Amino acid sequence: MITLCAFANTADDIKVIKQQDREVIERFKSYLNINTVQPNIDYYPAVDFLKKEAKRIGLESDVVEIVKGRPHVIIKWKGRDPSKKTVMLNSHMDVVPADPAKWNSDPFEAFWDLTNNNIYARGSQDMKCVGMQYLEAITNLKAQNFVPERTVYVTFVPEEEVGGHGGGMNDLVKSPHFDKLNVGFGLDEGLASPDEKFEVYYGERVAMWGIIEATGAVGHGSAFIKNTATEKINRVIQQIFNFRSSQEQELALRPNKRTGDVVSINLTSMKAGHTKDCGETYQMNVVPRTAQVGFDIRVTPHVPIKQVDEQVNKWASEEGVSIRWVQRSEEHHVTDLNDEHVKVFLDSLKSANVTFNTGVFPAATDARFLRAKKIPIIGFSPMNLTPVLLHDHNEYLNVDVYLRGITIYENVIKSITK
Ligand SMILES: [Zn+2]
């Protein structure tokens, strides 16, 4: 028997929601209610919630801490053949900060707007939805007496939003705990898509963060001094923006290209000015000896990292100009779309009439650590007809989109665990 609950925001707007779906949504809301905002997160309330969820479904769970206070929750659904490589369904527990003043509701209340059937919460798209959808899909499959051939690990990891280091996925993959999982294929986060087609990611751009510093002549602020640091850094900035425009144009001229297909660069810091004793006040009549800019480059796998490296070195080739890298990767790791597991995954989407684009994730996710270990990983968050609001104000997910995502995962899990 199906019980129906009726909700009304206004007399002429009545939503009827099945009791079973309401329970599913309440569980999603409960996870969203747990504050896991970076930095210095107390993860244990989320860990306790997930352990209880595992128990509800009838699955074993394990908590692994490579770094104290940075727990990974690993939920195991035992397959019929433990000798086979396993499937990893990954999501991260942490979320980015939300400014309540810019939101229409408390970001952790998980406000259910019944007029539009949307749930507003930090993490509703990135990516508490995905973690709960995995668990709901398994709940439904177990109710159908489905038993996977391969073992499935549903992993909830910390510290993704701060780069996956300091006890996050970067450290988990290097630990013996990870080797024991024997992962052969995995899913991790993707992005929402505003239209009907879903987004499937087989790779991501690599980040190169650097600082270019110029040193030049100093002197009185009233003189025409030659070779100043600020003149030199100005030439660097111009070259950076010329390059930035060329990439932006390439994106604009080719409608089939997406952000993940080009190289992006942004100036993220600028510093110059003479200060006494490193004070806060600048000496306004002194031409400073140094000037520097910091930048964030994201290199698409379609462009060799070496090529970008040479480009940046050219910008910093003038006398008195130098470059220092804060963080950079030396290699792209992409998942082969012809890999047998990936083909099964894509076929499972097609058989469920899910249309999709395949592409390169524009930013960084934990998938990069797994791809570096040659494990095929696909980035996929089943959110179509949804504006991309990750890290934005009033992040939300529509309830129907969320529920359809669970059905999609049921189909996907049935296929990829064979
Ligand atoms: Zn995320």
Taking alpha carbons only, the member of 118, 119, 102, 123 closest to residue 34 is 123
Of 275, 308, 328, the domain-final residue = 328
Q: What is the DSSP string of 48-68?
A: HHHHHHHHHHT-EEEEEESST
Distance, CA 160 to ligand 1 centroid (Å)? 7
**Cα angle 332-338-344, degrees, rounded to a multiple of 5:** 120
Q: Are 181 and 117 spatial neighbours (Cβ–Cβ below 8 Å)?
A: no
Cβ neighbours around 245 below 10 Å, total: 10
What pLDDT is stored for residue 2 in this prediction? 43
CA–centroid distance, residue 125 to ligand 1 (Å): 8
The distance from CA 42 to its chain's CA centroid, rounded to whole angstroms, is 20
126 annotated ligand-binding residue: yes
Q: Is residue 321 domain-shared with residue 345, that is, in the same domain?
A: no
- Structurally, the chain folds into a number of domains equal to 2
DSSP per position, 250-284: HHHH-TT--GGGS-EEEEEEEEE--BGGG-SSB-T
Do 200 and 215 share a domain, yes or no? no
DSSP track, 144-157: TT---SS-EEEEEE
DSSP letters spanning 159-172 = -GGGTS-SSSHHHH
Nearest to 418 by CA among 350, 337, 343: 343
Q: How many angstroms does the Cα of residue 38 sit away from the middle of ligand 1?
A: 12
Q: Omega into 39 within 30° of 0, i.e. cis?
A: yes
Question: Which position has the token pair 């010329």?
Answer: 242
Q: HSE (CB half, 13 Å, CA atoms) of 339?
A: 18
Same domain, 319 and 234: yes
Q: How far is CA 276 from CA 162, 214, 290, in A?
A: 34, 19, 14
Annotated binding residue 340: no
* Helix 340-351 vs helix 399-416: crossing angle, to nearest 10: 130
Q: Are residues 165 and 238 in the same domain?
A: no
User: Which among 328, 356, 378 is the end of a domain?
Assistant: 328
3-state secondary structure string, 3-27?
A: CEEEEEEECCEEEEEEHHHHHHHHH
Q: Are residues 305 and 221 in the same domain?
A: yes
Is residue 160 part of the annotated active site? The answer reads yes
CA 208 – ligand 1 centroid, Å:
19
What does pLDDT average to in each consecutive run of 10 residues of the chain (418 residues)?
44 63 96 97 98 98 98 98 97 96 96 95 98 98 98 98 95 97 98 96 96 97 96 98 97 92 96 77 92 97 96 97 93 96 97 96 96 98 95 96 98 97
Q: Which pLDDT belongs to residue 250? A: 94
d(CA 190, CA 83): 29
In this predicted model, what pLDDT tens digit does every residue of 310-361 receive, in sequence order?
Answer: 999 999 999 999 999 998 988 999 999 999 999 999 999 999 999 999 999 9
Does 136 share its domain with 77? yes
How many angstroms is it from 6 CA to the middle of ligand 1?
33
C-alpha of residue 91 to centroid of ligand 1, in Å: 8
* Residue 317, domain extent: 206-328
Q: Say if residue 23 carries a ligand binding annotation.
A: no
Q: Both 184 and 127 in a single domain?
A: yes
Provide the CATH number for the domain around residue 232: 3.30.70.360
Of 328, 353, 377, which residue constitutes the final position of a domain? 328
92 is in an annotated binding site: yes
The one catalytic residue among 53, 160, 309, 366: 160
252: CB partners within 8 A, 6+ apart: none
- Helix H or strand E encompassing 220: strand 219-220
How far is 379 from 363, CA to CA, in rounded Å?
12
CB-count burial class (<10 Å; 0-12, 13-18, 19+) for 389: middle
pLDDT of residue 16: 66
363 alpha carbon – ligand 1 mean position (Å) = 10
* Predicted pLDDT of residue 15: 57
Please give the pLDDT value at position 255. Answer: 85
Instruction: Clarify whether 331 is annotated catalytic.
Output: no
Helices and strands (H, E) in the chain, number of each type: 10, 19
Within 10 A of 300 (CB to CB), how many other CB atoms are there? Answer: 22
How much is the pLDDT for 11?
40
How many angstroms separate the CA atoms of 226 and 209, rounded?
30
Model pLDDT, residue 14: 44
Same domain, 281 and 397: no
How far is ligand 1, taken at its centre, from the CA of residue 260, in Å?
16
Question: Quick one: 123 and 43 in the same domain?
Answer: yes
pLDDT value for 417: 97
The per-residue pLDDT for 18 is: 84
- Would you give the DSSP letter of residue 100? G
One domain for residues 347 and 241: no
b/e per residue 395-408 (b: at least 16 CB within 10 A): bbbbbebbbbbbbb
Is the same domain home to 32 and 150?
A: yes
Task: Answer yes or no: do 186 and 83 share one domain.
Answer: yes
The one catalytic residue among 94, 159, 366, 395: 94
Q: How far apart are CA 138 and CA 60, in angstroms?
A: 13
